[in-house]
């Protein structure tokens, strides 16, 4: 079958609406079947990825388990789906995959204005692994959505006027906040509304962002559009800026001005989607112009719209949202070149490429976070509607979109509307004078309105106003282009000791905390501020919050009291109530409820903290049984923040206890209308226990704080009864803790014993209450081996490694057969204690305890590599576990690497060709590197055997990786080594013209793409210099060797720090490395290359020998050292 036939055969078929759905907006549940590549089961080992960088901020994964393998063959799977339809649009939602929109169809022309996937094909792009492209993904509280491949709950709301909303909601698995988005259609509108409610149901301030991630199918005639005042766009974290739409500088390493002036170089031409020359080569609004993975986000606009348009299909879409709260407008692409095509294939079978046109609310960049106060809810709407035949709009509103152009001396206007409007008028003015009026007009979503105004050649100063009977529908004014000051790129903050003021230190720490910086901690900045001024109130409050977040309660109290002491030095009633509120939280957690009550009450003196503080007081009142005082305090809390669902729920409880049942019922009914998916509202309505066990635990803890012990016990027992659920052990430990607080020691001991016998897989506690319960469990039962293991998980995640090690050591003493505790100890021994023998011993014990755990085998091999175990021994050990090694991509890549290192190159290549690989985004290149290495070695062997033609074929093959690798050369990756050897082989076979062509390609390459960033010089630069020498350019070669030498010296002398603006750090995922030693080791190799090229063979050998002492398995260095020895011997 052809690709077109394959795609047609696998196309997703949308079911017809059931006959019962007779209204103008139809909504129903009906499963759909799609070919699906299903994720493997999550790994049971907790991952502590402290320094993982993901989308420019922390890639911390805990408490989520990781899925690192997707099925390589699809199966037909039935997916739950919710369908929503009116006369104009057809929408399909997938509740099992984050409540994403999977289909957005314009029924008027059959155009999918959102990318429709006909297959579910995840790739390893998500925070926890699986992620699918297409449709619309709703990313919060970080990008990508941590729960992107997790289910949401659904509620269909039908309004009297025919409007239907499909609500999707869940509790974020990382921060325990509640997110809810409502997909909404009106009977008479060709427009989709998304209503969003983001609720911080926790007791502490949280950070968040919201990006609606729309995918659009693209080709060489697809163009994104942004408002007319957008002049500049920025990269992630605003680390780089370029002009827009015509890029005036190198961006993501691509020389866009050079492409515009001289054309796209031949080797950079795309294999598909070739621009037809009708648009400039540096115009970033066209997908086909961008050859590498690229993000850009606008730096500001006064308009509310943006979108994308398919000029071939004459269709597209526009997004509209209030730019005051929705400033984010972004485009992302994998790039129109081989690297991007490989990712396209990983994410779809026949669908082709897409771009993401993301709309950000309360954010304008990634990462760019905002705050949600305790109990705060943010409510907003976003809107999308399809465009059919309009062209690129110059203006768009919720009612209409306008396209304006001049042609043949006429002004042409095209208008599309989202609803029928009768009696509309169109006014066109120029220079303040009305030049055209048309009306009354009847506008309808089913057809465009086309108008032509003769003798208009210039749109400067033009104003177009479309009015309806109820007021303006749209206004567009053509202004003279204004000079805009270019935004300055973001800069890396100085190190703490280099900062001038305490305020700078405080604010920098706040920024790092807000943006969740992966590799630089705010703690260092705050500690330096406190070193200079130990009583500084803001910094002590920040440090107190930090300690509280990490479960260090006594230290938190110390900082909050210091802050309060400074604030109250002159007067007892400061303007800031924050340290009082947080002091209350810390004291309550320490079991001092009355002292906490006093602190909460003082916080209510400041308006900003009335809402959460009165809520906390109300909880304590309920626990005391003082229902009247609870009612008063909760009403005061809701007076400050009416959208705090937990406070409202507790008020319903208080009213019921006060026998005011009618008032409670009315309050609950209104609450459910506002939020039909709130777990507490639903429990109060019908004692509905949440389907999500973690959400049930959230609710039980809310109830426990308020003294509703019977209800909390019911929820804990319900979760404990789900025996296959990994939440059961912690539900029982929390139940035991509750019983203990209630003075029921026998019941506490019974629940604790039950918890200790349950399977420990996927039990990753992350709440402060869980830490307290586990500490209590360790004291209650000295023979419980599981509680200290779980406690160690929590402590290690909260950057308390010494305490975690103590807990895990206790767990291994009590149960030496438990592999995961040994494995965790191995990580901590290496990263925290820097105890290599201890780490090696712990991993030996882990693998002995479970020789079937492939991840433990992989991690131990990485530890062996880091500690210098010879390649021969590592390969022999992997070969002892052939099935385990074959079960993981990373182990298979390591085995191929070791085979190459041991000279078993044909076996390495056979392994690489024998299986499909699945790279992580940001970790690409590992498989490709070994594929290239195998071909280079085999090609050089053919050369040595006098077979230059066979050698050239092998070298050429290195440039064309097969699709099973799921990787391709990045456009900016340096290929000079491959081209150099092609040149040598061609010359050896007498093909001088081909030799010169290849050598010129090798010599002309500068820079490299490594570790997800552009490098000025790399190990590949050496081969460019050798190519220059082969071309007879000896001086140029010597200059390039000297450049390598100087670069090595500069890099070694530079501070050993992690790139502040890194968006991915694939080498820092498990075992920490000594950055200084890593820099020095790399400098040794670069110096060895340069000195060898300059003919200083003895000096080169000295550098290479020292390098090989540090990295004895490096193949390139071994070959270079041998060459230096040969040249030295011949001198």
The answer to whether 556 and 586 have CB atoms below 8 angstroms apart is: yes
Look up residue 1079 and give its two tokens. Answer: 């820099």
Residue 396 CB burial class (10 angstroms; 0-12, 13-18, ≥19): buried
Provide the CATH topology of domain 403-477: Immunoglobulin-like (2.60.40)
Distance CA 741, CA 588 (A): 13
The Cα-based distances of 908 to 153, 896, 897, 933 in angstroms read: 47, 5, 7, 10
The answer to whether 329 and 226 have CB atoms below 8 angstroms apart is: yes
What HEC string does 815-858 produce?
Answer: CCCCHHHHHHHHHHHHHHHCCHHHHHHHHHHHHHHCCCCHHHHH
For the chain, give the longest Cα–Cα distance. 102
End-to-end CA distance of the chain: 64
Backbone angles phi, psi at 354, to 5 degrees: -145, 160
Give the pLDDT score at 3.
59
Q: Which CATH architecture has domain 505-603?
A: Alpha Horseshoe (1.25)
Give just the sign of the alpha carbon dihedral 608, 614, 615, 616: positive
Domains 403-477 and 505-603 share a fold: no
Q: Which CATH architecture has domain 3-386?
A: Distorted Sandwich (2.70)
pLDDT < 50 regions, the chain: 1
Distance CA 847, CA 1096 (A): 47
295: left (phi over 0), alpha (psi -120 to 50) or beta: beta
β-pair type (178-185, 164-171): antiparallel
Give the pLDDT score at 1.
43
CB burial of 1026-1059 (b: ≥16 within 10 Å; e: otherwise) equals bbbbbbebeeebbebbebbbebbeebbeeeeeee
Helices first, then strands: H and E counts in the chain = 37, 41
Domain ranges of the chain: 3-386, 403-477, 505-603, 692-766
* CATH number 1.25.40.10 given to 692-766: yes
Give the pLDDT score at 149.
95
Give the pLDDT score at 688.
96
State the residue for tokens 């010494």: 802
Q: Bridge partners of 403?
A: 414
State the residue for tokens 């991509």: 889
Distance CA 763, CA 779 (A): 20
Give the pLDDT score at 797.
98
The Cα-based distances of 1007 to 191, 972, 1017, 1031, 1066 in angstroms read: 48, 8, 5, 20, 20
Residue 554 CB burial class (10 angstroms; 0-12, 13-18, ≥19): exposed
Give the pLDDT score at 1067.
57
């Amino acid at each position: 079958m052809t690709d077109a036939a394959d795609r047609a055969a696998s196309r997703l078929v949308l079911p017809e609406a059931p006959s019962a759905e007779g209204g103008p907006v139809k909504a129903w549940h009906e499963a759909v079947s799609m070919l699906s590549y299903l994720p493997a089961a999550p790994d049971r080992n907790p991952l502590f990825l402290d320094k993982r960088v993901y989308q420019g901020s922390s890639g911390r994964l805990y408490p989520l388990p990781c899925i690192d393998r997707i099925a390589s063959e699809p199966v037909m799977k039935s997916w739950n789906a919710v369908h929503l339809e009116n006369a104009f649009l057809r929408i399909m939602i997938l509740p099992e995959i984050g409540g994403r929109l999977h289909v957005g169809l314009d029924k008027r022309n059959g155009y999918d204005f959102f990318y429709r996937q006909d297959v579910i094909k995840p790739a390893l792009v998500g925070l926890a692994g699986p992620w699918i492209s297409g449709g619309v993904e709703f990313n919060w509280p970080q990008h990508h959505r941590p729960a992107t491949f997790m289910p949401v709950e659904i509620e269909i709301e039908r309004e009297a006027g025919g409007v239907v909303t499909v609500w999707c909601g869940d509790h974020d698995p990382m921060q325990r906040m509640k997110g809810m988005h409502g997909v909404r259609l009106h009977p008479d509108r060709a427009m989709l509304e998304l209503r969003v409610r983001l609720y911080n149901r926790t007791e502490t301030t949280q950070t968040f962002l919201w990006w609606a991630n729309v995918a659009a199918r693209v080709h060489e005639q697809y163009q994104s559009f942004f408002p007319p005042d957008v002049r500049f766009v920025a990269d992630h974290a605003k680390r780089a800026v370029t002009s827009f739409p015509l890029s005036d500088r190198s961006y993501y390493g691509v020389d866009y001005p050079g492409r515009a002036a001289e054309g796209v170089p031949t080797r950079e031409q795309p294999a598909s989607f070739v621009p037809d020359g009708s648009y400039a080569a540096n115009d970033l609004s066209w997908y086909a112009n961008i050859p590498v993975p690229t993000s850009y986000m606008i730096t500001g606009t006064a308009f509310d719209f943006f979108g994308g348009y398919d000029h071939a299909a004459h269709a597209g879409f526009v997004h509209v949202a209030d730019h005051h709260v929705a400033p984010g407008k972004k485009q992302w692409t994998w790039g129109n070149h081989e690297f991007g095509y490989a990712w396209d294939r990983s994410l779809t079978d026949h669908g082709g490429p897409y771009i993401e046109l993301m709309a950000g609310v309360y954010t304008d960049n990634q990462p760019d976070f905002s705050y949600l106060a305790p109990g705060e809810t943010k409510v907003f709407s976003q809107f999308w509607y399809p465009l059919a035949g309009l062209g690129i709009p110059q203006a768009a509103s919720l009612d209409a979109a306008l396209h304006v152009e001049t042609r043949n001396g006429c002004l042409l206007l095209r208008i599309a509307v989202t609803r029928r409007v009768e009696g509309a008028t169109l006014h066109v003015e120029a220079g303040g004078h009305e030049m055209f009026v048309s009306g009354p007009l009847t506008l309808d979503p089913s057809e465009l309105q086309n108008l032509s105004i003769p003798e208009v050649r210039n749109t400067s100063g033009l104003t177009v106003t479309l009015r309806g009977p109820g007021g303006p529908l749209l206004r567009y004014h053509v202004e003279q282009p204004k000079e805009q000051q270019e935004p300055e790129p973001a800069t890396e903050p100085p190190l703490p000791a280099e900062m001038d003021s305490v305020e700078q230190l405080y604010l920098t720490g706040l920024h790092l905390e807000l943006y969740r910086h992966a590799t630089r901690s705010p703690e260092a900045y705050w500690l330096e501020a406190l070193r200079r001024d130990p009583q500084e109130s803001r910094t002590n409050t920040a440090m107190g919050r930090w300690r509280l977040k990490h479960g260090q309660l006594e230290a938190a109290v110390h900082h909050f009291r210091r802050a309060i002491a400074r604030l109250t030095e002159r007067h007892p009633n400061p303007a800031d109530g924050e340290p009082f509120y947080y002091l209350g939280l810390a004291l309550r957690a320490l079991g001092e409820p009355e002292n906490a009550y006093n602190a909460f009450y003082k916080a209510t003196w400041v308006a900003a903290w009335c809402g959460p503080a009165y809520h906390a007081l109300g909880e304590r009142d309920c626990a005391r049984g003082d229902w009247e005082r609870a009612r008063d305090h909760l009403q005061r809390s809701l007076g400050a923040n009416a959208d705090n669902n937990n406070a409202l729920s507790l008020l319903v409880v208080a009213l019921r206890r006060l026998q005011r049942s009618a008032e409670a019922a009315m309050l609950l009914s209104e609450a459910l209308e506002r939020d039909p998916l709130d777990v507490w509202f639903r429990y109060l309505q019908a004692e509905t226990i949440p389907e999500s066990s973690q959400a049930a635990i959230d609710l039980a803890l809310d109830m426990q704080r308020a003294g509703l012990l019977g209800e909390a016990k019911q929820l804990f027992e319900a979760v404990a009864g789900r025996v296959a659920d990994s939440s059961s052990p912690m539900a029982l430990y929390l139940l035991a803790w509750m019983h203990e607080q209630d003075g029921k020691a026998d019941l506490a001991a019974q629940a604790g014993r039950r918890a200790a016998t349950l399977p420990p897989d996927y039990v990753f506690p992350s709440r402060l209450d869980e830490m307290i319960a586990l500490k209590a469990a360790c004291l209650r039962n000295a023979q419980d081996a599981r509680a200290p293991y779980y406690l160690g998980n929590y402590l290690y995640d909260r950057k308390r490694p010494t305490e975690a090690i103590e807990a895990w050591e206790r767990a291994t003493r009590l149960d030496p057969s438990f592999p995961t505790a040994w494995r965790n100890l191995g990580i901590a021994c290496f990263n925290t204690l820097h105890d290599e023998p201890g780490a090696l011993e712990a991993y030996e014990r882990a693998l002995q305890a479970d020789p079937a755990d492939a991840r433990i085998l992989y991690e131990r091999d990485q530890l062996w590599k880091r500690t210098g175990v010879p390649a021969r021994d590592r390969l022999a050990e992997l070969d002892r576990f052939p099935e385990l090694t074959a079960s993981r991509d990373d182990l298979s890549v390591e085995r191929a690497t070791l085979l190459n290192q041991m000279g078993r190159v044909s076996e390495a290549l056979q392994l690489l060709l024998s299986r499909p690989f699945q790279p992580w985004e940001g970790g690409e290149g590992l498989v490709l590197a070994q594929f290239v290495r195998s071909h280079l070695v085999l090609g050089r062997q053919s050369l040595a055997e006098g077979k230059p033609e066979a050698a050239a074929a092998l070298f050429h093959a290195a440039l064309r990786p097969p699709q099973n690798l799921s990787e391709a050369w990045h456009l900016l990756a340096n290929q000079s080594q491959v081209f150099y050897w092609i040149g040598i082989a061609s010359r050896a076979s007498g093909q001088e013209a081909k030799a010169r062509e290849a050598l010129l390609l090798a010599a002309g390459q500068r820079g490299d793409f490594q570790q997800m960033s552009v490098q000025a010089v790399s190990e590949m630069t050496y081969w460019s210099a050798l190519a220059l020498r082969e071309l007879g350019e000896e001086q140029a070669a010597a200059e390039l060797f000297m450049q390598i030498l100087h670069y090595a010296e500069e890099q070694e002398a530079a501070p050993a720090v992690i790139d502040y603006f890194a968006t991915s750090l694939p080498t820092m995922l498990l075992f920490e490395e000594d950055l200084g030693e890593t820099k020095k080791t790399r400098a040794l190799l670069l110096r060895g290359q340069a000195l060898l090229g300059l003919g200083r063979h003895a000096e080169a050998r000295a550098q290479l020998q020292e390098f090989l002492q540090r990295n004895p398995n490096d193949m390139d260095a071994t070959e270079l050292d041998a060459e230096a020895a040969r040249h030295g011997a011949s001198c």
